[in-house]
């Protein structure tokens, strides 16, 4: 345990301590430049900044969209797999493949699919008679819908994870319980909401928390599609922090934003753990 | 046979159709990427787009691989991912073993702390790491990038290996120790062979985490150690929007790991779900 603990201390904890402490300084972007302690000024600036507020809201919306759609699709597919039993093995394999693809590749691929004019998605919608012209919907160029469009590759990439976790959880539900419910005359929706989902609660909690954390950190998949645009409509916190640090060179402010983000994540995650994980409690 | 499996033929038929529709939707994006990579560069961006190439050609592959920095980046990706996988396993195996075998409170805190590292935004570690690597004199090397990637894969590796070790009965080691093996000897000769499947899974996850990583690579490398995801991302700015070459390089980069992992998929599913289902 010691070597791993030392490694994490040196390359995670120590950088993190430096990052958080940077939040209390005004730091010159030139390497070796002056550091002036400014107390909580960076935090005050961060909370007061419209882009920080906007990015926070967008991060929450993005995470909510990704996780709720992934959960809905993931659960439906997991139930289909379970209902088909052993025969579903081949389908499970195929369904898993996007998990291996780099987010950068997924982002570029979806940008290619969604682009107006030569994008295949709009072309299919035109052929199906849903759209009139292939430039009618600008998935990634219309600020009103861009935040939802950039979420598509993330959903495509990682729904399989939720499906696999829920499928494995479904295997652990004893057949007798479902049989008993069936004999009591329970129909499928009742079984799903009264028996299956409550029994799966710890598994669902793990799947949602893991995916929620990762979706809230999403960076490359958004960067490669829109670079935060159009008009900042897809600038989530991770992009804003990156830009504040590298493009504007304001290390202190970026560190304050990152620190607030981290504290927020810890709070939400611990609330989520206690609220939905808690095993053994009557629903 | 699980409790949910349906027995009615008609229900099964409907479910198969539904599943087929979902899989076509799910599989289409990557199939389309592969098909596009075999089109001519101009057909790749033709209006309206075609699905199947009019002319099948390897032009995009030749163009992509001939671009400056592409082949070195592929080599860098392999070197970095292999190094990071090694670091991850060497550190995770003893740590996970200690946590599961000694069951101390500090062990639990350690596993929890390892999981919390997952919540830290990459940039929060990446930016200070740039200075650390400069101070260590290893800026822009695969070695430094592999260390950074290990910060991502190590917590997951410890978690995975711990669940594999949990599954081994204590008696197995007791027997080995009765036969005179030391604790380390028992780990090396008795326990590790039993969890070889788990080791393979953990290795694959560590490899993929490094192979697909972007932000650390962006921050910590400039020329020499640049990995392929950065080069793929640069296709859009440096060379204009070269979609044809992009799809070809994306295919070259993604297909081997997809095929490899699909070949080993039974183990991987086990690894993915083990920790979660045990709760």
Residue that is last in its domain, among B41, B62, B83: B62
Asked if residue B231 and residue B135 are part of one domain, the reply reads yes
Asked if residue B119 and residue B19 are part of one domain, the reply reads no
Q: For chain A, how big is the Rg over CA atoms in Å?
A: 23
Asked if residue B235 and residue B191 are part of one domain, the reply reads yes
Q: How many domains does chain B have?
A: 2
Give Cα A236 to chain centroid, integer Å.
11
Could you tell me the pTM of the whole model?
0.89
Q: How many domains does chain A have?
A: 1
Q: How many angstroms separate the CA of residue A258 from the nearest CA in chain B?
A: 7
Rounded to whole angstroms, the Cα distance separating A19 from A27 reads: 12
Q: Residue B69 — φ and ψ, nearest 5°?
A: 90, -10
Asked if residue B188 and residue B93 are part of one domain, the reply reads yes
Q: Which residues in chain B have Cβ-Cβ distances shorter than 8 Å to A108?
A: 232-233, 235-236, 246, 250
Task: Find the domain containing A204 and state its range.
Answer: 42-277
CATH code assigned at A133: 1.10.3720.10
Q: Please give the average per-residue pLDDT across A3-23, as a whole number.
A: 90
Query: Quick one: DSSP state of residue A30?
Result: S
Asked if residue B75 and residue B53 are part of one domain, the reply reads no
In a domain, residue A163? The reply is yes
In a domain, residue A5? The reply is no
Q: Residue B48 — φ and ψ, nearest 5°?
A: -75, 155
In a domain, residue A232? The reply is yes
pLDDT category, A263, cuts 50, 70, 90?
A: very high
Asked if residue B100 and residue B179 are part of one domain, the reply reads yes
Asked if residue B145 and residue B45 are part of one domain, the reply reads no
What are the pLDDT digits (tens) for A195-206?
Answer: 888 888 878 887
Going by their DSSP bridges, the two strands A25-27 and A35-37 should be labelled as antiparallel
pLDDT category, B273, cuts 50, 70, 90?
A: low
If you write DSSP's letter for every residue of A59-118 in order, what string do you get? HHHHHHHHHHHHHHHHHHHHHHHHHHGGGGHHHHHHHHGGGGS-HHHHHHHHHHHH-TTT
Asked if residue B180 and residue B50 are part of one domain, the reply reads no
- Are B205 and B155 spatial neighbours (Cβ–Cβ below 8 Å)? no
ipTM of this complex: 0.86
Asked if residue B24 and residue B106 are part of one domain, the reply reads no
User: Which residue in B51, B127, B215 is closest to A220 by CB distance?
Assistant: B215
In a domain, residue B256? The reply is no
What are the pLDDT digits (tens) for A153-173?
Answer: 999 999 988 998 888 888 888
In a domain, residue A22? The reply is no
Asked if residue B149 and residue B120 are part of one domain, the reply reads yes
Asked if residue B153 and residue B58 are part of one domain, the reply reads no
In a domain, residue B270? The reply is no
Is pLDDT above 50 for B134? yes
Q: By CA distance, what is B102's nearest residue in A? A: A1
Rounded to whole angstroms, the Cα distance separating B105 from B275 reads: 19
In a domain, residue B33? The reply is yes
More confident residue, A243 or B5: A243
Asked if residue B193 and residue B73 are part of one domain, the reply reads yes
Q: Which residues in chain A have Cβ-Cβ distances shorter than 8 Å to B47?
A: 117-118, 134
What are the pLDDT digits (tens) for A51-72?
Answer: 999 999 999 999 999 999 999 9
Tally of CB atoms within 10 A around A24? 18
CATH code assigned at B194: 1.10.3720.10
Task: Find the domain containing B49 and state its range.
Answer: 9-62
Residue for token pair 């289409």? B28
Structure tokens at B195: 């969890």
In a domain, residue A167? The reply is yes
Q: What is the per-residue pLDDT for B187?
A: 74
Q: Which residues in chain B have Cβ-Cβ distances shorter than 8 Å to A269?
A: 119
In a domain, residue A251? The reply is yes
Contact A19 B124 (CB under 8 A): yes
């Amino acid at each position: 345990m010691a070597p791993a603990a030392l490694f994490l201390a040196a390359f995670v904890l120590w950088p993190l301590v430096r990052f958080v402490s940077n939040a209390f300084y005004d730091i010159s972007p030139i390497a070796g430049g002056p550091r002036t302690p400014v107390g909580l000024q960076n935090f005050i600036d961060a909370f007061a900044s419209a882009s920080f507020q906007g990015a926070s809201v967008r991060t929450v919306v993005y995470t909510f969209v990704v996780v709720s759609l992934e959960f809905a699709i993931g659960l439906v597919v997991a139930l289909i797999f379970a209902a088909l039993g052993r025969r579903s093995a081949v389908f499970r394999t195929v369904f898993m493949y996007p998990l291996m693809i780099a987010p950068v590749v997924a982002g570029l691929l979806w940008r290619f699919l969604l682009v107006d004019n030569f994008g295949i998605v709009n072309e299919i919608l035109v052929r199906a008679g849903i759209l009139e012209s292939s430039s009618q919907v600008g998935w990634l160029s219309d600020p009103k819908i861009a935040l939802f469009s950039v979420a598509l590759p993330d959903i495509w990439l990682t729904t399989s994870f939720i499906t696999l976790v829920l499928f494995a959880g479904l295997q652990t539900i004893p057949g007798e319980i479902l049989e008993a419910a069936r004999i009591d005359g329970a129909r499928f929706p009742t079984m799903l909401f009264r028996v299956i989902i409550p029994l799966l609660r710890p598994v669902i909690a793990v799947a949602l928390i893991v995916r929620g954390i990762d979706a809230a950190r999403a960076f490359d998949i958004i960067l490669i599609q829109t670079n935060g645009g159009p008009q900042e409509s897809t600038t989530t916190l991770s992009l804003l922090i990156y830009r504040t640090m590298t493009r504007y060179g304001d290390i202190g402010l970026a560190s304050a934003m990152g620190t607030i983000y981290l504290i927020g994540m810890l709070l939400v995650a611990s609330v989520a753990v206690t609220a939905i994980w808690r095993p053994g409690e009557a629903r | 046979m699980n409790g949910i499996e349906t027995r009615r033929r008609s229900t099964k038929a409907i479910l198969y159709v539904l599943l087929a529709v979902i899989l076509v939707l799910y599989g289409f994006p990557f199939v389309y990427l592969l098909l596009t990579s075999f089109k001519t560069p101009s057909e790749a961006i033709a209006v309206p787009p075609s699905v199947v190439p009019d002319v099948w050609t390897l032009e995009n592959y030749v163009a992509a691989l001939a671009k400056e920095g592409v082949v070195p980046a592929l080599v860098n990706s392999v070197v970095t991912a292999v190094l990071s996988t090694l670091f991850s396993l060497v550190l995770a195996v003893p740590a996970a073993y200690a946590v599961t075998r000694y069951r101390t409170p500090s062990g639990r805190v350690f596993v929890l702390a390892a999981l919390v590292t997952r919540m830290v935004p990459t940039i929060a570690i990446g930016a200070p790491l740039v200075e650390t690597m400069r101070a260590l004199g290893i800026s822009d090397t695969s070695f430094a990038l592999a260390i950074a990637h290990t910060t991502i894969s190590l917590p997951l590796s410890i978690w995975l290996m711990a669940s594999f070790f949990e599954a081994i009965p204590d008696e197995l080691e007791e027997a080995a120790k009765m036969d005179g093996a030391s604790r380390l000897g028992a780990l090396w000769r008795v326990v590790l062979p039993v969890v070889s499947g788990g080791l393979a899974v953990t290795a694959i996850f560590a490899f993929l985490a490094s192979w697909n990583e972007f932000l650390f690579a962006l921050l910590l490398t400039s020329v020499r150690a640049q990995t392929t995801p950065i080069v793929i991302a640069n296709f859009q700015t440096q060379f204009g929007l070269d979609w044809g070459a992009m799809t070809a390089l994306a295919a070259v980069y993604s297909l081997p790991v997809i095929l490899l992992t699909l070949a080993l998929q039974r183990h991987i599913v086990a690894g993915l779900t083990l920790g979660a289902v045990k709760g």
